[in-house]
Amino acid sequence: MKTAVYPGSFDPITNGHLDVIERALKIFDKLVIAVLENGNKECLFSSKERADMIKGATKGMRVEVEPFSGLLVDYLRKKKTSLVVRGLRAVSDFDYEFQMAIANKKLEPETETIFILTDKEYFYLSSTTVKELARNKANVSGFVPKNVELALRKRFS
Ligand code: PNS
């Protein structure tokens, strides 16, 4: 049974994240979606709200959704895996992702980060863009799952 952890802020989950999840499940038996709480970033949604939105959008998939805090390598140990999934979009993601992968490998040499290229449709899609659009009352239906669209509408009403 191959389990990998897909960590992130997911503030909120987008169709780009969902694309990565679906494709990662072609490689792994199970995916643990680890939602960062108490990170450096100021989030629009609480970690529980973010986790609940992911649960709503991934019903029936082989995933477990859980908030996590502290170091990712410690969380990996707790979940008894050394496999990390991250999505890669435009080239601009590379620097940040490379730094994180190297840092995690330094902390725990067993860690392997598997990068999944996001479908070109989602190449420039980010949670930040989605929030900006929703804040300005634009239609985000093509960018996020339905439950997230509703949550954004409610938050900015
Ligand atoms: O969606 P994000 O914000 O790009 O995800 C970043 C995340 C959660 C993967 C990263 O911030 C993280 O792993 N944080 C936990 C702290 C940690 O382990 N830091 C060391 C590696 S840089």
The whole-number pLDDT of residue 20 equals 97
The whole-number pLDDT of residue 91 equals 83
Asked about 89 being catalytic, the answer comes back as yes
Number of domains in the chain: 1
Q: Give the span between the Cα atoms of 68 and 34, in whole angstroms.
A: 6
Q: Is 85 in the pocket of ligand 1 (CB under 6 A)?
A: no
For atom 22 of ligand 1, which residue has the closest CA? 100
Q: Is 16 in the pocket of ligand 1 (CB under 6 A)?
A: no
Residue from 50, 79, 86, 89 carrying the catalytic annotation: 89
- Local mean pLDDT, 10-residue blocks, the chain (157 residues): 97 98 98 92 95 98 97 98 95 92 98 95 94 97 97 96
The whole-number pLDDT of residue 109 equals 98
Provide the residue range defining the domain that includes 102: 3-155
21, 37, 66, 71, best to mutate for ligand 1 pocket (most atoms within 8 Å of CB): 71
The whole-number pLDDT of residue 139 equals 96
The whole-number pLDDT of residue 39 equals 76
Structure tokens at 120: 């070109």
pTM, two decimal places: 0.97
38, 71, 72, 127, best to mutate for ligand 1 pocket (most atoms within 8 Å of CB): 72
Q: Is 101 in the pocket of ligand 1 (CB under 6 A)?
A: no
Q: Is 15 in the pocket of ligand 1 (CB under 6 A)?
A: no
- CATH number (domain holding residue 38): 3.40.50.620
The whole-number pLDDT of residue 104 equals 98
Q: Give the span between the Cα atoms of 71 and 132, in whole angstroms.
A: 29
Residues sharing a CB contact under 8 Å with residue 103, sequence separation 6 or more, in sequence order:
none
Q: Give the span between the Cα atoms of 15 and 133, in whole angstroms.
A: 15
The whole-number pLDDT of residue 77 equals 98
